[in-house]
Amino acid sequence: MKITSAHGGGGKLMNVLIHDIFVKHFANETLSAMEDAAILPAPGARLAFTTDSFVVTPLFFPGGDIGRLAVCGTVNDLLMRGATPRYLSVGFILEDGLDTDALERVALSMKKAADEAGVAIVAGDTKVVEGRGGLYINTSGIGLVETALNISAHNAADGDAVLLSGYLGNHHACVQSERLGIQNAIQSDCAPLNGMVLGLLNAGVEVHALRDITRGGLASVLSEIAEASNVGIHLEGGLTFADPEVSGFCDILGLDPLYMGNEGKLVAFIPQRDALAALTVVRNARYGQNAQIIGTVRADDGLSVTIRTRSGGTRRIESLLGEGLPRIC
C-alpha cells in the first residue's frame, strides 16, 4: 500500500495506519493509550532531553536504516551527558507514495534498536507531505542523570587523555557507497553506545567530556570541545583512524576519516590516572573493541587541535567547513 495525503488527515485512515504499523510494533501501555502526551515516572531530580531529525538517503543501507539511526542517534546524545536513556518520542514525516511495507520495516528496526538501548517509545506523531516516497524521522529523548554527574563538552581539562572508541568513517563510506553503487563490504557503524558509557560510569572512571562523532567527523567534534573547554588538543602521530576497507575507500575518493560522519563512535576525555582503566572498559564493551587513546589535552595550547605528522612536526586540524556528505543522517 502506498501512503497518500489522506493518511495525514487526522481521521480514520491515519488511525488505521498508526495502529497497524506503529502501535503494533512499538506496543507499550503508554503509547497504546493514544493520549496527547505520555505521562512518565521520573525517579530522580535531573533529566537529560535531546532531539534529532533524520533525513538519511537511502532509507536502508548495510548495517542499518533510518529507523535504527534515529533511535541510536538520540540514545547516544543522551548518553553523552552521562544520562541513562529512558523514553523516546518519534515524529514521522511521510512523503506521498512511501510504501507501507518499507515503513513497517523501519518501525520494526526502531523497536529492535530501542530494545537494545533499553528505551521505550512513548509518544508519536505522523504527518504526510507531497514527495517521492521519502521519509523523515524526528526522535526526541529523555534520560535520567545521577545528580552528582557533570559530563560536558566544557569540562575537558589539562592532561586529559583523549579516548576514541573505534575506527572512523564506516557510516559515511557505507552511505556514499550505496549512493554511488559501489560494491564493497563496508557496513554502517550505527549502534547504541549504552554499554561503553554506562560501563565507564559503573566502573567509577571519572569522565570529563563525551561526544558522539556524527556529522562533521572527529575533527569538528574536537574543535568544538577545544573551544567549549578553552583548551588545546594534541593528537599522536602514526595512528590508524580507519579500518582497511574504509581506508581503501578514502584513498580512492580522496576522503579523510577525520571529517567523515559516524553513528556509533564516541570520543571521551578522561584524567590520565583513569585512562587505562577507561580503555579496558571501552574495549570490553560491545562496539568498542578497536578503542585507542589518540591524544592529550594541553591547557596552554590555545584552542588549537593539532596532530603529529610523520616528519615529526605538527599539523593543525580545523573544523569541517561547509558540507561533508549531504543527508548522511
Please list every residue from 55 through 94 that binds a copy of itself, using CB under 8 A: 55, 76-78, 80-81, 83, 87, 89-93
Minimum distance from CB of 318 to a copy of itself (Å)? Answer: 8
> Which of 228/277 has CB closer to a copy of itself?
228
Which stretch in 98-106, 168-176, 205-213, 287-295 sits in contact with a copy of itself by CB under 8 A?
205-213
Element (H, E) at 27: none
For a copy of itself, what does the binding mask look like between residues 130 and 169, x meaning CB under 8 A? ------x-x-xxxx-x------xxx---------------
Angle at 246 between CA 243 and CA 250, to 5 degrees: 130
Residues 307-326 that bind a copy of itself (CB under 8 A): 319-324, 326
Q: Which of positions 90-119 make contact with a copy of itself (CB under 8 A)?
A: 90-93
192 preceded by cis ω (within 30°)?
A: no
Task: Kindly state the smallest distance separating residue 94's Cβ from a copy of itself, in Å.
Answer: 10
As a dihedral over the C-alpha atoms of residue 6, residue 7, residue 8, residue 10, rounded to 10 degrees, the angle is 90
Residue 7: phi, psi to the nearest 5?
A: -70, -10
Site for a copy of itself in 18-57 (CB under 8 A): 33-55
> β-strands 292-298, 305-308: how paired?
unpaired
Instruction: Report in angstroms how near the CB of residue 238 gets to a copy of itself at its nearest.
Output: 26
Give the C-alpha separation, 93 to 260, whole Å.
Answer: 27
CB atoms closer than 10 angstroms to residue 25: 17
Task: State the CB neighbour count (10 A cutoff) for residue 243.
Answer: 19
Q: Does 129 bind a copy of itself (CB under 8 A)?
A: yes
AA letter at 26: F
Beta strand spans in 55-157 (E): 60-61, 64-65, 84-95, 120-129, 135-145
Residue 15 vs 280, nearer CB to a copy of itself? 15
Shortest distance (Å) from residue 251 CB to a copy of itself: 22
> How many amino acids of this chain bind a copy of itself (CB under 8 A)?
81
CA 62 to CA 217: how far, in whole Å? 20
Position 112, amino acid: K
Q: Which residue has the cell 562523532?
A: 213
Question: Alpha-carbon distance 138 to 71, whole Å?
Answer: 9
Give the shortest CB-312-to-a copy of itself separation in angstroms.
29
Binding string, residues 238-277; x marks residues near a copy of itself by CB under 8 A: -----------------------x----------------
**Nearest CA among 169, 164, 326 for reference residue 250:** 169
Three-class SS state of 14? helix
**Min dist. Cβ of residue 191 to a copy of itself (A):** 16
Measured from the CB of residue 285, what is the shortest distance to a copy of itself in angstroms? 19
| Interface with a copy of itself, residue 123, by CB under 8 A | yes
Q: Is 12 in the site for a copy of itself (CB under 8 A)?
A: yes
Shortest separation between residue 308's beta carbon and a copy of itself, angstroms: 24
Kindly identify the residues of this chain, within the stretch 284-303, that bind a copy of itself according to CB under 8 A: none
